[in-house]
Every structure is written in C-alpha cells, then in structure tokens.
Amino acid sequence: SEVFELVMKQEDKTRWLLTKLSSDKKSLVVAGSGETGETLGDAFDDAEVMWGVFAVHGVDERNSVTSTRSKPVQVNWVGEVSL
C-alpha cells in the first residue's frame, strides 16, 4: 500500500502502519499510521485482531562510506475482547 511505502521511506516521518480486518472480514484495511512508537501503542484496539509494521533504519558507517538501510518489523495484536 502507499502507506507502507511511506513507512519504509527514510525521508518521510511516517514510521508505522496498522491494519485490521474489514467489516466483511475479506480484506485488510488501514486502521492507522503515525510517527512515534507511543502513537502506535495507543492505536491498538482491545476488540480487534490487528497487524502492523514499523520501520527500523540502520546506519552503518565504515571508513568513508555510510550505508543506511530500512527494515520492516511486523507486529501482531490480538485484543483481549476479540477472542
């Protein structure tokens, strides 16, 4: 999705994406996105099963070369009430 691409871009401030099942339970819909881990934690819903991703940007500096890589980290959430 376009939001995932924003999460993975180092130049963009968007750092996470959260999805949940659509009302017909046949597809995923974006439940939220944001810039900080704190806002990600606040976005989880105890009544939902949710899946998310946040970006970790690694920087490797060696001699005169700096390499920056983005890695996605998957988050799975099962709310207490959703079961």
Condensed to tens digits (0 to 9), the pLDDT of residues 56-77 reads 888 889 888 988 888 999 999 9
Q: Over the Cα atoms of the chain, what is R_g?
A: 15
Token couple for 5 = 């691409």
Of residues 23, 25, 26, 20, the one with CA closest to residue 76: 20
Confidence of residue 2 (pLDDT cuts 50, 70, 90): confident
Tokens read off for 21: 């099942």
Q: Is the pLDDT of residue 83 over 60?
A: no
pLDDT at residue 80 above 80? yes
63: left (phi over 0), alpha (psi -120 to 50) or beta: left
pLDDT tens for 11-40 read: 889 999 999 999 998 999 999 999 998 899
Integer CA distances (angstroms), 23 to 10, 27, 45, 60, in order: 33, 9, 15, 43
